[in-house]
Amino acid sequence: MDAVYLDVDGTLLGPRGQFLRGEDGAWSLQGARALEACDRAGVEVVLMSGRGRLVLGEDARLIGQTSFIMEAGACVVLEGEEHWLTAPFLPGTQTVHEQLSATGAPELLLAHFAGRLEYHDPWHLNRQVSHLFRGRIDAFEADDVLAAHGHDALRLIDNGPVRDGTARAYHLVPKGVSKAAGVAFHQRARGYDPAACLAVGDSREDLAVAPHVGAFWLVGNAVRKDPTIREALAGVRNARLAEAGHGAGVYEAVITTLAERRAPGARA
């Protein structure tokens, strides 16, 4: 296996972003053991997250990785070098975040979905690309609102539950931005065979990575927080659901996939 693409919040990390806590809040080393198994097998671990560079870069450093996919796929950082996937919005005298602000699209969404959408304070601060919201809306409806007001170069990503599951995280980004696009770029840059890669996540945005990898897993807590995601999962041929949640679910996905690929006649 070449690479494992891991979502961070709600997947590798336990509740409230705790790495060494499981779904029940008790101490758990399963996420760390999954990373150790990848290292022993020579498999690159690539974090893919809505988190910004400063935070995600530190996450990657802590687990000894040099590449990551930040801000929901807006930029792939490869050995410290940034590769932006945000065209036609590209960083220059203004950040992409500032350019999106200038379009008026963030204010449009906040006004249209008043009472149901707000900035995800304080994590919406100091971002380079996406405007980060929380609430409970239909992202496809938001895309229709954006297009109706001339913002068809933008989209709203539903990045899954936050807090106790009563709210969801949303990223306003350039239309071509996605975790799937980030994964595909990283594979091309590394020369990896998509069929020899694994991805693990907890949201519909993560599930969109499935066509770009040989195997995709949703951690168990994904369906416990959003039962409707089972319907989307059923339509993806290479997607599976882990019984365990968070880091333990990542461990289940990694160990199972590695074992199956080592079985006689299996593809490496």
Residue at a domain's end among 124, 153, 174: 174
Q: Do 35 and 164 share a structural domain?
A: no
39: three-class secondary structure by DSSP:
helix
Supply the CATH number for residue 229's domain. 3.40.50.1000
Distances (CA, A) of 257 to 125, 216, 222: 37, 10, 19
Q: Do 197 and 76 share a structural domain?
A: yes
What is the per-residue pLDDT for 225? Answer: 86
Contact of 8 with 59, CB cutoff 8 Å: yes
Q: Do 69 and 201 share a structural domain?
A: yes
Q: Do 45 and 150 share a structural domain?
A: no
Contact of 81 with 67, CB cutoff 8 Å: no
Contact of 203 with 4, CB cutoff 8 Å: no
Extract the residue ranges of the chain whose pLDDT is less than 70: 163-165, 263-268
pLDDT digits (tens, 9 = 90+) for 193-240: 999 999 999 999 999 999 999 999 999 999 998 888 999 998 899 999
Q: Do 169 and 190 share a structural domain?
A: no
Beta strands in 19-166 (DSSP E): 44-48, 67-70, 75-78, 81-84, 117-119, 131-135, 154-162
- Domain range for residue 130? 96-174
- For the chain, the C-alpha Rg in angstroms (whole number) is 18
What is the per-residue pLDDT for 264? Answer: 62
Within-domain flag for 268: no
Within-domain flag for 201: yes
